[in-house]
Structure 1
Amino acid sequence: MKRTAIAAATLLATISIPANAQDMTAPDYPETRRGDVVETIFGEKVADPYRWLEDDVRNNPDVADWVERQNAVTDAYLENLPARDWFASRIGELTDYERFSVPVARGDRYFYSRNSGLQNQSPLYVRDGLEGEPRLLIDPNEWADDGATALGGWVPSPDGTKLLYSVQDGGTDWRIVRVLDVATGEHIGGEIRWVKFSGLSWVGEEGFLYSRFPEPEEGEDFQALNTNQAVYYHALGTDQASDQLVYATPDFPERNHSAGTSDDGRWAIVTSSTGTDSRYEVHMIDLAARDTLGWQARPLVSGFENSWSMIESVGSRLFFVTNHEAPLYRILSIDMDNAAAGWTEVLAEKDQPIAGAGMVGGHLIVEYLEDASSSAYVYTLGGELVREIEFAGLGSAGGFGGSPDNAETFYAFSSFNRPSTIYRYDVTTGESTVFASPEVTFSPDDFVVEQRFYESRDGTRVPMFIVRRADVAARAEAVPTLLYGYGGFDVSLSPGFSASRLAWVEAGGAYVLANIRGGGEYGKAWHDGGRRANKQNVFDDFIAAGEFLMAEGVTPESGLAIQGGSNGGLLVGAVVNQRPDLFAAGNAAVGVMDMLRFDQWTAGRYWVDDYGHPDREDDWRILRAYSPYHNIQRGMDYPALLVTTADTDDRVVPGHSFKYTAALQEADLGERPQLIRIETRAGHGSGKPTDKAIAEAADILSFFGHWTGLEVEE
């Protein structure tokens, strides 16, 4: 397939090192012991010399010592970056604004989180009535001296008198669940433990449904595979040991189960999956018949073939969003009193994928993605269009929860240059009014957000968003550019506000978000086009984005930095191996770097839906071909790389990043540094304290700035 002119010209080139970067070349790395592990897999010998770094840092003193020595070298290097203090200061200033979550109304109360600006965690507030005085209900900043214990999910009871919430400590995916009396602030009953990847749903006012795993063996909390998830019912005032088993599949330990309840309390919905794909089985429990039938789960959808997400119920009629015979999704309904009659189409598939749907005030509110930007429409329950909800340009909207019997709902809207504003929306009148709007230290009009489309290697048209200062865009000058991507698991990236990325743009750089294949921006086909045997398309799309930015004069050839987290960390590792000449710097954050063993730990077994099975030869050969850890090009000039991870990441265990970094440092990759930054008391990302997030962002951006030639005027 024909490449662009810039790609052909730079295919074998080496990125020049900016003159001011000569004194910041690779330091002396800590010595890393090489093991002698070599395995023969499908006839090929595969060395894994750093397998010992897979061990939990808490349980292996050698790993703990390695982490300490690596952090010492990295910290000393980062301290000398000239723009580090400027970025830390400016990111802090841009972060220091009021942030609200979308309110949840129950009874006559409104619940929402609010961060005054630089609080490490966002406290939860409640109002009695929409105009009531806000009252602090939970302040997670009081839970830990280091600010690393966070408020997880929370759900008010139907009448608003109680609050069900979870606690996340140190970034782990494990949650501790508690119940609070809203009036008194006192806890009701004890704690629920070993909860992970769980919904929380009230059953009346007397108890709730949750999902949990069996308690791990001692010392295996952060590494053992997660299997045998089950749904339980907890009655308030009882011990967890007496909780009732609601739904489990012991003969199929790989299946996951999550439960929800309808707004009217009539139905419990158990949704089961086998991995990360949106392919579900659905069982219904008639809560009105629980006294006679118990937790009898009635199968509604079988086969793990399609996505099914319940919107809400009206009496015996249930409404679902599904991609059954509709890759871009549609809305169907079924009458449980006459289920044999089958499904009825309420809203047909359109040209854009459905991103979400809610039922409010006897209407459906349906969110779509139109070229990766949000749009939303109001329909009758019969599927007739009422109106479009108008947003302020290209951006992301979310929320639209509520009750089928109440016309009030709330939503948030944000964009690259606009932090979230919270709106109250009246479905009857179509009027949006501001509930909470932040005051910021910049003018959104000083920045330009544009969307462009470029051609990937196989001719596929791919969108990207480009954010620059208005004066930079007007001059059309090539500036250091930060390119971000993800490309996996049906995850759609849309415009949203980031204080750190705006600081990069304020400093004169460009920020680019590429909507590469593997995501859900264009429905099932876009996802399928970037996974398993098609995973190389993801890397080709990202590489083509970099080539396009150079060809269009957005960035100079020595000015492109790349960033991605989790599956995006894999993306960075893979494209750096494939095109080390194209990038000046990179940040692979909490990445999946060993594609031959990812399924050995915690949630890794779920990812076979996107990556394939390492124990199957056809899949293994695909994984072997791009695995970042196994495909480092020894002796090549590599970009400057800063790998970031955390000691409590039990989603993508830090051993991935440890092994990858050790291999980089041993491979003689030129003058630019290959460093790792390992956060303590942090996990995969959620719950990270504000101060740690600012410090990490300042380190990354000053590292990028130095190696792309971004000159910050302090």
Structure 2
Amino acid sequence: MHHPRIKLALATLSLLAPLTPFAAGQGAAVSAPPVAARKPVVDTYHGVKVEDPYQWLEKGDDPEVRRWLQGETAYTRALLDKLPSREAIRARLTTLLSHESAAHFALWQRGGTLFALKSQPPKQQSFLVVLPSVEDPSTARVLVDPMALDPSGRTTIDFFVPSLDGKKVAVSLSKDGTESGDVTVYDVATGKPLPGESVPRVNGGTAGGSLTWNADGTGFFYTRYPRGEERPPEDRDFFQQVYFHELGTPTAQDTYELGKGAPRIANYALSTSEDGAYVMAILGNGDGGEYALYLRPQKGTWTQLSRFEDKLVSAGFGQDGALYALSRQDAPRGKVLRIPLATPSLDKATVFIPQAEASIDGLLATATRLYVTEQLGGPMRMRMVGLDGKDLGQVPTQPVSSVGRPTRLGGDDVLFGSTSYLEPTSVYRYSAGDGTLTKTALGRTSPVDTSRVRVERVMCTSKDGTQVPLNLLYAEGTKRDGNNPTLLTGYGGFNVSLSPSFHVLSFAFIEQGGVVAVANLRGGSEFGEAWHTQGSLTKKQNVFDDFHACARLLVEKKWTKPARLAIEGGSNGGLLMGAALTQHPELFRTVLAHVGIYDMLRVELTPNGQFNTTEYGTVKDPGQFQALYAYSPYHHVKDGTKYPSVLFTSGENDPRVDPFHSRKMVARLRAATRSKRPVLLRTNDMGHGLGTPLSETIAEEVDVHAFLFNELGMKYRPVSR
């Protein structure tokens, strides 16, 4: 099942956020932060005058902004570098994050060859390998290693796509967290790049990027941003289209395929049927979850299969001459349509799997069956349906776990990853013939003993009565005496679900006596499209109410108290942090806000902010403006309020959330707060977090945890194991 890419990174516990290059011990003796001047600006929206005293901080290249930012960095380093137990914390987190057990992900079999991205500390970046055996990872052959191309560790693989015969692979590489990826084609047998085969800016931080090969591997369809003077500078991150590149020809001669007349905020996901007969393009209208499907025979022209209003959200090719599409038309939890490729039309579609209790997340068609992954409010499962419509039961996965996208192995056998709160991702082989599930050697081992950690799932009642799941992780024997240091995280947006996942740094907190809480908020996909829409556009406040209900329950049930409650989130989850601390400042002791959005009235002036309008709304619409203004964190900071301590992080090269949000929020919050608690800004020259080198990830987490432990009054106890 090919899903268009979610462009706002998930913010779960211990988010690997952008990191600063500064090392501990470099901080000077700085006693006070720089003062950001108030420069009154008034903007008018639909007759409403809105003051914006720190709008000048939006100009990242302005010398005055750079001087202020340098002062902020010096002040932040001075405070963070003198926090207690830094070196003990550094030692523990380095052990956890440098665990040498390899992870294999993005598995893809083509032409009998199995490809994967491999992550193996102390390597700074993941690298592309070929796997002759799923039982012996040591046989892996490295195809593309970003560290060999760039020893600085600042180059990363955005994505890769093998040709149908597995003899060539197209790889997108970007630098410095920009996500601006150029594609190079490699020969799989030799590992060498094909001479002259480089296509610029296939991937980007706004519309993402995608690529798919033609039947015989002589060329590929790819996403193309405007080049040169085709568009004015302000349009060069927009108007993505689909082009075709024939190997051996200059990319300037690539031919247009699709996209004229599409929205300015178009983004595409491309795929090819296993036999190479058809190519599919899924057009996304920004990031709000609206999609249109286009189909093209290899020797033919594009036809539009669905429109945004038809609510087909994804599709995959069957091996029986049909297309299987996930539809949410009159089925918010999803139904599967079967569309004959001989006569591809919604008029010819039949309901293959009707809507049921679980929410359908995705599907994969193999020789004689469909594998269907489903959401159960956070936990997931995978079931099977024969192409004859017969129910074939479930794949026997763990009851409270996540299930990754399966990979075809041949026939009806598949590989897939699965993880839980207490176990790192394992890669399983499901053999359809005898129904056996086998754990392969491709999964990770855990650097911590989780046998004494308990997982509990409770329900919280939101403001409007909605029941919101909250997942708790804590050490066996933890007392509910209202005194446990607790870290609550959430996301709530873009149809992204926070399914069970193993976050090793959760245990760095739990082993110090902490409780970790993960909220399944509206705005995600945990209970289908209705759950998403109840937390988007003008209903976004529901997300913040859900989060407040979770925090309130933690206090009422005596898991913790406000003086020992911290919250963390990033990106869209950073917006959640901003709303939580401005709406309920009395409820939290400290806030960890990574690469977040805080000025909801000016976010759409940035390139990726325009893609977000289909999720958040636009100030151009009076009703949506009122909703945005009603919760915009920057505009709801109140002078004289006792705010919690806050650590903001941002990346100067972030293509998804402009760092001006963090700059403005820090300036406004620090000027307003009446508490003596610190408000810190930690910035860097990377991006949104993707492609961050391992060494900088460790440096970031040392700062975050030293700050967190100190603010919650936790005396760090060194852990030897």
Please, what TM-score do these two structures have when normalized by structure 2? 0.90
Structure 1 pair 104–554 and aligned structure 2 pair: CA distance change class (3 A): same
Query: What aligned pairs does 1:165-564 form with structure 2 within 5 A after superposition?
Result: 165-188=171-194, 189-195=196-202, 196=204, 197-204=208-215, 205-215=217-227, 226-250=237-261, 252-287=263-298, 290=299, 293=300, 296-339=301-344, 342-402=348-408, 406-435=411-440, 436-472=442-478, 478-564=483-569
How far apart, in 1, do the equivalents of 2:262 and 2:357 lie?
41
> Which of 607-616 and 302-311 deviates more?
302-311
Q: C-alpha displacement at 1:454, in angstroms?
A: 1.3
How far residue 131 of structure 1 moved from its aligned partner, in angstroms, is 6.2
Cα contact 2:109–2:407 (8 A) shared by 1: no
Residue 626 in 1 paired to residue 637 in 2? Answer: no
Q: Per-residue deviation at 1:224?
A: 6.2
**One-letter code of the match for 1:357?**
L
- CA-to-partner distance for each residue in 1:345-401, whole Å, 9 max, x for gaps? 111111110111111232111111112101111110133211211123412110212
Name the amino acid aligned to 2:165.
D
> CA deviation digits over 1:143-165, x for unaligned, max 9?
33431211111111111111111
Q: How far apart, CA to CA, are the structure 2 residues paired with 1:693 and 1:45? A: 42
User: Is the CA contact 1:500–1:698 (under 8 Å) kept in the aligned structure 2?
Assistant: no
Change (3 A) 1:92 1:411: same
* Counterpart code for 1:134: A
Matched, 1:116 2:120: yes
2:149 to 143, 150, 154: 143
Deviation at 1:476, TM superposition (A): 6.8
For structure 1, which segment, 683-692 or 190-199, has the greater mean C-alpha deviation from structure 2 after superposition? Answer: 190-199
Amino acid at match of 1:354: I
Residue 216 of structure 1: how far off its partner (Å): 7.2
CA spacing shift, 1:210–1:308, aligned 2, 3 Å = same
Out of 407-416 and 567-576, give the one that drifted further.
Answer: 407-416
Which of 4, 14, 30 matches 2:34? 30
User: What residue in structure 2 maps to residue 66 of structure 1?
Assistant: 68
- Which one of 702, 708, 714 corresponds to residue 710 of structure 1? 714
State the alpha-carbon separation in 2 of the partners of residues 577 and 596 from structure 1. Answer: 16
- Measure how far apart 1:130 and its partner are: 5.2
Shift of residue 560, structure 1, vs aligned partner: 0.6
Could you tell me how far apart the structure 2 residues matched to 1:419 and 1:86 are? 24
Give, in whole Å, the separation in 2 of the partners of 1:180 and 1:618: 51
| Residue of structure 1 in register with 2:606 after alignment | 601
Partner secondary structure for residue 406 of structure 2: strand
Tell me the CA shift for residue 657 of structure 1.
1.0
Q: Deviations over 1:619-658 (max 9, x none)?
A: 1121111111111011111000011110110111111111
Encode CA deviations 1:474-529: one digit per residue, 9 max, x unaligned.
x7774111100111111111111112222111221111100111111111111111
Q: Deviations over 1:547-580 (max 9, x none)?
A: 1001111112311101111111111101111110
Separation of aligned partners in 2, 1:408 and 1:237: 36
Aligned to 1:698: 702
Contact map agreement 2:643 2:673 (CA 8 A) in 1: no
Report what 1:639 is aligned to: 644
Aligned residue identity for 1:86:
A
- Report what 1:650 is aligned to: 655
Distance 1:218 1:334, change over 3 A: closer
Q: Secondary structure at the match of 2:648?
A: strand
The separation in 1 between residues aligned to 2:31 and 2:556, in whole angstroms, is 33
Q: Deviations for 1:308-367, whole angstroms, at most 9, x for unmatched residues?
A: 311213353211111122110111111132346511111111111011111123211111
Unaligned runs of 5+ residues in structure 2 are: 1-29
Q: Is 1:661–2:672 an aligned residue pair?
A: no
Does the alignment pair 1:125 with 2:136? no
What is the distance in 2 between the residues matched to 1:145 and 1:129? Answer: 29
Question: Does structure 1 conserve the Cα–Cα contact (< 8 Å) formed by 2:424 and 2:445?
Answer: no
Percent of paired sites with the same residue = 32
Match of 1:22 in 2: none
* SS at structure 2 position matched to 1:314: coil
SS in 2 for 1:337: coil
CA RMSD of the aligned region, Å?
Answer: 2.2
CA contact (8 A) 1:78 1:699 kept: yes
Task: Report if the CA contact (8 A) 1:249-1:255 is conserved.
Answer: no
Distance 2:63 2:40 in 1: 20
Q: For the residues of structure 2 that align with 1:424 and 1:368, how far apart are their CA atoms? A: 19
Distance 2:159 2:415 in 1: 18
Alpha carbons 2:269, 2:283 under 8 Å: kept: yes
* Structure 2 residue identity aligned to 1:531: S
| Aligned match of 1:8 | none
| RCO comparison, higher one (Cα < 8 Å, 6+) | 2
Q: Secondary structure at the match of 1:490?
A: coil
Separation of aligned partners in 2, 1:86 and 1:217:
54
Rounded Cα–Cα distance in structure 1 between residues aligned with 2:230 and 2:331: 46
Whether the 8 Å contact between 2:377 and 2:526 is mirrored in structure 1 is yes
Secondary structure of 1:472's aligned partner: coil
**Whole-angstrom CA distance in 1 between matches of 2:387 and 2:231:** 52
Q: Deviations over 1:75-109 (max 9, x none)?
A: 11111221333333222212213222253222232
Provide the C-alpha distance between the structure 1 equivalents of 2:671 and 2:114, rounded to a whole number of angstroms. 56
Cα pair 1:216 1:224 within 8 Å, conserved: no
Three-state SS of the structure 2 residue aligned to 1:521 is coil
Question: What SS does the aligned partner of 2:93 have?
Answer: helix
Deviation readout 1:192-249 (Å, 9 max, x if unpaired): 112231222111211111112113789998x867321100111112221111111022
Distance 1:219 1:255, change over 3 A: closer
Q: 1:373–1:130: structure 2 CA closer, same or farther, 3 Å change rule?
A: closer
Give the letter for the 1:464 counterpart: L
Contact persistence 1:224–1:601 (CA under 8 A): no
Tell me which moved more, 27-36 or 537-546: 27-36
Distance apart, 1:251 and its partner CA: 6.7
What residue number does 1:86 align with?
88
User: Structure 1 counterpart of 2:48, which letter?
Assistant: E
Counterpart position of 1:15: none
Contact kept, 8 Å, 1:194 with 1:214, in 2: the verdict is no
Cα-to-partner distance string for 1:671-692 (whole Å, 9 max, x where unaligned): 0011110022x21121111121
How many equivalent pairs are there?
Answer: 677
Distance in 1 (CA, whole Å) between partners of 2:405 and 2:44 is: 51
